[in-house]
Amino acid sequence: MIRVTPHDGLLGATVTGVDLSQPLSDGDFATIFRALGERGVLRFPQQMIDAPELKQFSERFGSLQVVKGSPYHEPGMPEVSILSNVKDGDRQIGLPDAGQEWHTDMTYNTLVGFVNVLVAHRVPVRDGVTLGATEFASTQAAYAELPVDLIQRLEGATATHDLNFYWEHMRRDKGSTRPPLTAEQRKARPPVQHPVFLTHPITGKRVIYVNPGFTERIDGVSPSESDDLLAQLFEHVLQPRFRYTHRWTLGDLLIWDHLGTWHYAVPDYRPDEPRLMKRCQVLADKVFDARFRQRTLEMA
Ligand code: OGA
Ligand code: MN
């Protein structure tokens, strides 16, 4: 019998009583879907499934993103990416520094991200202490406590999101050795505009939909005003009461909601301390139409 146990605080729950290597019943899926909206991050312990099952489970939530030209994926399965510092000889087998800044995935797409699904195949441990945690912040809980003047000021506003903005920040400020995006990659992902606030398709609550990683500016105001507004929003969301840290255990499968949370991969382990995650990135095509209007969910 499926069981959802909320963690302390506003974010996170542990889900037991399901076997994710098997197709899920509609009832169990609906329970998971609702819990995802309400708790933002769900941990399924002892579910070390491999790529085919990971893909099958992830596809219940929507279409999967495939990054054209990325070498970091499961052989023959471009929907399953590998995040890892592990090397095969001289060759990196995965993206070694994914997510090492506060962000939410795929806001730089026209069709934005909905859910990430990660399963921990290797977790760095030093002197008995687990490293390489993933931190989360709830933009849904944060909206509920946003000062009214900020809400009034930004209601109806849009912001510009750009993959290249993040990419260059990682190269310039975080010591990333990733090569610049090619002209072709930049052309495939031009800057896009999205509303600053969205209505969450599962809970019906408002969320703050800008993030430090990909949001370059608030549209229609001066650069200094935009910087100031973004700084206020970011500082508000990152307050401790909206946050949750997930420390990985081998075989944890974690799913999180990209519409109502941000995340940050803590880079506190060395290149010789192996970390390996397999991941599917689910797009929001089952929950939104092209203008963020909610679709009727026959799935939940
Ligand atoms: C991601 C990401 C975080 C991590 O999967 O989008 O940012 O801790 N990863 O690996
Ligand atoms: Mn990410």
Q: Which residue has the tokens 């819990």?
A: 35
- Tell me the one-letter amino acid at 203: T
- Tell me the one-letter amino acid at 201: P
- Over residues 93-116, the mean pLDDT reads 95
pLDDT exceeding 70 applies to what percent of the chain?
98
**Residue 67, pLDDT above cutoff 90:** no
| Alpha-carbon gap, residue 255 to 268, rounded angstroms | 22
The pLDDT, as a whole number, for residue 291 is: 80
**Residue 154, pLDDT above cutoff 70:** yes
Class level of CATH domain 3-299: alpha beta
**Residue 141, pLDDT above cutoff 80:** yes
- Tell me the one-letter amino acid at 262: W
- Over residues 223-252, the mean pLDDT reads 98
Residue 193 neighbours by CB distance under 10 Å: 13
Gap from CA of 134 to ligand 2 centroid (Å): 10
- Over residues 245-271, the mean pLDDT reads 98
**Residue 119, pLDDT above cutoff 50:** yes
The pLDDT, as a whole number, for residue 284 is: 97
For a mutational test of ligand 1's pocket, the pick from 117, 166, 279, 281, i.e. the residue with the most ligand atoms closer than 8 A to its C-beta, is 279
**Residue 58, pLDDT above cutoff 70:** yes
**Residue 300, pLDDT above cutoff 50:** no
- Over residues 1-16, the mean pLDDT reads 97
pLDDT exceeding 90 applies to what percent of the chain?
92
Does ligand 1 lie within 6 Å of residue 131's CB atom? no
Question: CB–CB of 219/193 below 8 Å?
Answer: yes
Does ligand 1 lie within 6 Å of residue 263's CB atom? yes
pTM (2 decimals)? 0.96
The pLDDT, as a whole number, for residue 297 is: 63
- The ranges assigned to domains in the chain are 3-299
Gap from CA of 96 to ligand 1 centroid (Å): 10
Tell me which residues have their CB within 5 A of the ion that is ligand 2: 99, 105
| Alpha-carbon gap, residue 284 to 297, rounded angstroms | 12
Does ligand 1 lie within 6 Å of residue 275's CB atom? no
Gap from CA of 117 to ligand 1 centroid (Å): 9
User: Of all protein residues, whose CA lies closest to atom 7 belonging to ligand 1?
Assistant: 99
| Alpha-carbon gap, residue 223 to 216, rounded angstroms | 10
**Residue 52, pLDDT above cutoff 90:** yes
Residue 106 neighbours by CB distance under 10 Å: 22
Ligand 1 atom closest to residue 118's alpha carbon, by position in its atom list: 5
Band the pLDDT of 68: cuts 50, 70, 90: confident
Q: Which residue has the tokens 């993040």?
A: 166
Integer angstrom CA distances of residue 146 from 26, 67, 206, 241, 279: 36, 35, 11, 13, 32
For a mutational test of ligand 1's pocket, the pick from 135, 268, 277, i.e. the residue with the most ligand atoms closer than 8 A to its C-beta, is 277
Gap from CA of 205 to ligand 1 centroid (Å): 25
Does ligand 1 lie within 6 Å of residue 79's CB atom? no
Cα 188–chain centre separation: 21
User: Of all protein residues, whose CA lies closest to atom 8 belonging to ligand 1?
Assistant: 265
**Residue 299, pLDDT above cutoff 80:** no
Band the pLDDT of 298: cuts 50, 70, 90: low
| Alpha-carbon gap, residue 18 to 21, rounded angstroms | 9
Phi/psi class of residue 9: alpha, beta or left (left: φ > 0; alpha: ψ in -120 to 50)?
Answer: left
Band the pLDDT of 148: cuts 50, 70, 90: very high
User: Of all protein residues, whose CA lies closest to atom 3 belonging to ligand 1?
Assistant: 265
For a mutational test of ligand 1's pocket, the pick from 58, 82, 83, 136, i.e. the residue with the most ligand atoms closer than 8 A to its C-beta, is 83
